[in-house]
Amino acid sequence: MQPLNWFDKLVTPLLGGVAAIILFVMMILTCSDVIGRYFLNAPVFGAFEMTELLLACLIFTGLPLVTLRQEHICVDVLDGITPDWMLRIQHVVASFVAAVATSYLAWRLSLRGANMLAAGETTAQLKLPLGYLATGMSVLMAITAVSFFILIFRRPSRQSTGEV
């Protein structure tokens, strides 16, 4: 049992469900656009923009999930020879730096979202306001930052599997 397990139990099903819905919508949109474009000569209006926006939503929805599962890309060249005490220090330092960096990015995204809303920035074709997307991305980035802060208190796991 890991410390602050309640956070995982709250965030994982919620964001996992949202990510699954986004992916399903992207699949339906892409299939509809391909069928419309090549068989009916009538592509879905704004499909490219919608796919871009949905992809951004999917990526930022997945960030906290990947973080909590500690499934980021990891270079484990020295994992086999690193002592446990040093691995713990490395884990705490890396999690802290990542938490600070993602907190900063969440703050900057919130400012960007506010500026975009104030300026009335929209997508080119569908005229969807981009500020809401940036604000949502800032919230998801803040959840990712909280996830990194939680990892500080959790036991590190060795990533190396011994496979070459």
**Nearest residue to 19 (alpha-carbon basis) of 64, 68, 71:** 64
Q: What is the DSSP string of 42-93?
A: -PPTTHHHHHHHHHHHHHHHHHHHHHHTT-S----TTTTTS-HHHHHHHHHH
Residue 164 is predicted with a pLDDT of 46
**Nearest residue to 133 (alpha-carbon basis) of 147, 158, 146, 114:** 114
> Has residue 68 got a pLDDT over 90?
no
**Nearest residue to 64 (alpha-carbon basis) of 144, 137, 131, 148:** 144
Chain-wide mean pLDDT for the chain? 89
pLDDT digits (tens, 9 = 90+) for 123-132: 999 999 999 9
**C-alpha distances out from residue 135 to 54, 103, 138, Å:** 14, 14, 5
Tokens of 33: 């656009």
Residue 161 is predicted with a pLDDT of 52
State the average pLDDT over residues 8-32: 93
pTM: 0.85
Residue 90 is predicted with a pLDDT of 86
